[in-house]
Structures are given as structure tokens and as C-alpha cells.
């Protein structure tokens, strides 16, 4: 493999039902930064059926070029034809970096494509940057420059590892939704569009979809919330979440929770914040009865303002909090709700 042949930062632009997911724009935002450091351009790979028109949107969010693979057999996501399509794009166009969202689809697609193109993949990255590898020079070992340094929690979140892929291309990473930030949309900015046909055979479609059952969630996505009131095990029981709901309603926000709450069956998994839940960035995050384990903090530390309520003044949540209230939430939360409602009434 001649590494020099591989150029450009590519992202997989995930679409479902011919609508681009927010993850595509988030990956484009990060790809633009990496491309600036490498002095190269950004390409989005769009795979599906009847999806050509989505290329314009990708241009407005930062793609210089969009490679479109449009074929009737790609109408619904299926492992084999999508893997074939993306792997062939990589073989033909030779990207230096390939980013995929760590969504349900991306977690299926990314590793298969990396295996098929004989390269490595770092899953669930929380930070991506260009730098030297090894990070510090080691006597007798070549230090390579302009490598993709992929950082992610390791060993159950107890440490942070920075991983590189110095001898194979592309350097592949998956990134969870909500971790990277999309650029502002530039209306009218167009990308060059390239249509590519990797050729499909019957064997690329050996699974037949008989029925698609879509889950309809009643709760709004916590990743879109501007204000979150999040409860932990310290809330005590599912009934007590009513008081958190009331505070969230007074603030015009939503509720979310820690994994301990989900594991106890008090709240659905959709509301879990953290390493194995959602990554959120609200304007205000109120952590109630949450200790602040590293795996929880990983999912909320980018919030603009963090307010922690905990009866234990040594709880690690206070290390990331902008405001901390030490005491029993059962007293503090209703008082806060009352105060906010009375201020709203006066104002």
C-alpha cells in the first residue's frame, strides 16, 4: 500500500428515508477542520436510492465534493450492498481519512468496510486531530507526521486512549452523534457532484427485507433540548421524577437521567446521558442526585452551564459543575421550581 496515494478527508453522509441525519453535518464540521490542517479537501459519500438532490445540502454544510452512489437496491439500509458501495468508493478514490457516524447504521457499516479495505478503525471517538505519532519521539522509531490522532474512552471509560493508524489507509473512525459540531449552513454553496456506480450483483442483496417496523418515541430527543434536568440514582424511585418534571416544565426544558436510573428500570434508555447513552450539549444541565462518574460526565461536560445538586459535597459532579448546591434535592428542587414560577409570574 502506497500511503501517498491516499488524499482527502471523507465522511459517510448517512441518510434514512432520503433525509440526511444531523450526524452527516457534524462529521462535515470536523472534516473541514482536519482538511484545513492537512491542506486538502472534504468529500461526502452519499449512498441510497433517489438521493442525488441531497448533495446540495451537503455542499452547504461544508463538502467540496459529493460522491453519489444511487441504485434501487440501496433504497433501505442493508449491510451487504452498502458495505460493497462504500468499500468500492474507498478502493477507487483512495481517501486519507474516512469518518462514519457511530449510529446504529454506522456501527454496522464502518467495521465491515474497514475489514474489507484492510485498514483499522477506531470506534466511538470523542476527539479527532492531526498530529505526530508516536505522540512523543521514541529512540529508534520513526515519528510520522500529519497522522489522524483518534481519542476515545478505553477500559470501560477509566482511561482515555489516543490511537493512530500509521501504516494503513484510510484512517477510519466512528464518532458518536452530538460529539462534533456542525458548521453554520452557507446557503447556495455548492459541492461538485460525482456519480459513481460500483456495480451490483445478486449476491450483494442476499437479505430480503419483509417488513419495516418503526419505533415511535413519545419523548422529544434529549440531544435537541436547550435545558435538561437530569436525575440519578439519588432521586430514589421513579415516582420522584415527577418533581424533576415540574422543575423542567418551569424552566421550559426536558428531563434526562443517568445509566443507574435506566438500569433500575425507572426511565427509558432514550433518556440516558453518557458514554453508552446520548451526548448532550444543552445551554443548561441540572444534575440532580448524580454522582458524576466519568462515563456520565463524558456525555454532558460540553453543556454551557452545569448546575449540580448533591447531598455529598465530595461528589465528582461538583468538579465539572459551574454552580453546585450541597443538600437534599427533595427540598432544593421544589424550592427552585417555586422560585422560578414566582419570578416568571412577576416578570
Ligand X SMILES: Cc1cc2nc3c(=O)[nH]c(=O)nc-3n(C[C@H](O)[C@H](O)[C@H](O)COP(=O)(O)OP(=O)(O)OC[C@H]3O[C@@H](n4cnc5c(N)ncnc54)[C@H](O)[C@@H]3O)c2cc1C
| Residues near ligand X, by CB under 6 A | 156-157, 232-234, 258-261, 272, 274-277, 289-291, 293, 295-296, 299, 309-312, 315, 328-330
Least distance in Å: CB of 334 to ligand X? 12
Least distance in Å: CB of 311 to ligand X? 4
Closer residue to ligand X (CB): 14 or 272:
272
CA dist., res. 124 & res. 174, Å (int) = 5
Strands (E), 102-221: 121-125, 127-133, 144-154, 159-163, 171-175, 192-195
Least distance in Å: CB of 297 to ligand X? 9
Least distance in Å: CB of 176 to ligand X? 11
Least distance in Å: CB of 112 to ligand X? 24
Closer residue to ligand X (CB): 252 or 327:
327
319, three cell numbers:
468538579
Least distance in Å: CB of 103 to ligand X? 16
Closer residue to ligand X (CB): 127 or 189:
127
Closer residue to ligand X (CB): 170 or 282:
282
Least distance in Å: CB of 295 to ligand X? 3
Closer residue to ligand X (CB): 9 or 321:
321
Q: What are all long-range contacts of 336-344, with beta carbons under 8 Å and residues at least 24 apart?
A: 336/247, 337/243, 337/246, 337/247, 337/250, 340/247, 340/250, 340/251, 341/250, 344/250
Closer residue to ligand X (CB): 95 or 289:
289
Whether the upstream peptide bond of residue 134 has omega within 30° of 0, thus cis, is: yes
Terminal alpha carbon distance of the chain:
67
Closer residue to ligand X (CB): 48 or 299:
299
- Whether the CB-CB separation of 174 and 185 falls below 8 Å is answered with no
Least distance in Å: CB of 192 to ligand X? 40
Residue 171 Cα distances to 1, 129, 180, 219, angstroms = 13, 12, 18, 37
Closer residue to ligand X (CB): 89 or 262:
262
- Whether the CB-CB separation of 293 and 273 falls below 8 Å is answered with no
Closest CA to 240 of 219, 227, 255: 255
Helix (H, G, I), strand (E, B) or coil at 138: strand
**Residue 46, beta-bridge partner list:** 68
- Whether the CB-CB separation of 130 and 37 falls below 8 Å is answered with yes
Least distance in Å: CB of 185 to ligand X? 30
CA dist., res. 128 & res. 321, Å (int) = 25
Closer residue to ligand X (CB): 148 or 290:
290
Q: Following DSSP, what letter does each residue of 166-197 receive, concatenated?
A: TTSSSEEEEE-TTSS-PPPP-TT---EEEE--
Closest CA to 168 of 222, 238, 118, 240: 118
Amino acid at each position: 500500500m502506497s500511503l501517498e496515494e491516499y488524499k482527502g478527508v471523507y465522511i459517510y453522509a448517512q441518510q434514512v428515508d432520503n433525509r440526511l441525519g444531523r450526524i452527516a453535518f457534524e462529521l462535515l464540521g470536523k472534516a473541514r477542520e482536519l482538511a484545513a490542517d492537512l491542506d486538502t479537501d472534504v468529500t461526502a459519500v452519499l449512498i441510497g436510492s433517489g438521493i442525488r438532490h441531497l448533495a446540495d445540502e451537503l455542499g452547504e454544510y461544508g463538502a467540496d465534493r459529493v460522491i453519489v452512489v444511487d441504485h434501487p437496491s440501496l433504497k433501505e439500509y442493508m449491510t451487504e450492498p452498502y458495505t460493497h458501495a462504500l468499500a468500492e468508493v474507498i478502493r477507487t478514490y483512495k481517501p486519507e481519512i474516512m469518518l462514519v457516524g457511530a449510529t446504529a447504521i454506522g456501527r454496522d457499516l464502518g467495521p465491515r468496510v474497514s475489514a474489507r479495505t484492510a485498514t483499522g478503525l477506531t470506534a466511538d471517538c470523542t476527539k479527532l486531530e492531526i498530529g505526530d505519532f508516536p505522540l512523543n519521539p521514541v529512540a529508534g522509531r520513526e515519528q510520522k507526521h500529519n497522522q489522524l490522532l483518534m481519542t476515545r474512552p478505553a477500559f470501560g471509560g477509566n482511561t482515555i486512549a489516543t490511537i493512530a493508524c500509521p501504516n494503513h489507509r484510510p484512517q477510519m473512525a466512528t464518532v458518536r452523534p452530538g460529539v462534533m459540531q456542525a458548521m453554520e449552513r452557507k446557503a447556495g454553496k455548492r459541492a461538485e457532484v460525482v456519480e459513481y456506480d460500483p456495480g451490483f450483483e445478486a449476491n450483494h442483496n442476499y437479505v430480503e427485507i419483509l417488513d419495516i417496523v418503526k419505533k415511535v418515541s413519545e419523548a422529544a430527543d434529549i440531544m435537541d433540548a436547550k435545558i435538561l434536568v437530569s436525575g440519578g440514582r439519588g432521586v430514589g424511585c421513579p415516582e420522584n421524577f415527577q418533581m424533576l418534571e415540574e422543575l423542567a416544565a418551569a424552566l421550559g426544558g426536558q428531563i434526562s437521567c443517568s445509566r443507574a436510573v435506566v438500569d433500575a428500570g425507572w426511565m427509558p434508555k432514550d433518556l440516558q446521558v453518557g458514554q453508552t447513552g446520548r451526548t448532550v450539549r444543552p445551554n443548561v444541565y441540572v444534575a440532580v442526585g448524580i454522582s458524576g462518574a466519568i462515563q456520565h460526565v463524558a456525555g454532558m461536560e460540553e453543556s454551557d452551564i452545569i448546575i449540580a445538586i448533591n447531598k455529598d459535597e465530595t461528589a465528582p459532579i461538583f468538579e465539572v459543575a459551574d454552580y453546585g448546591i450541597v443538600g437534599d434535592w427533595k427540598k432544593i428542587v421544589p424550592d427552585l421550581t417555586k422560585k422560578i414560577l414566582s419570578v416568571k409570574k412577576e416578570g
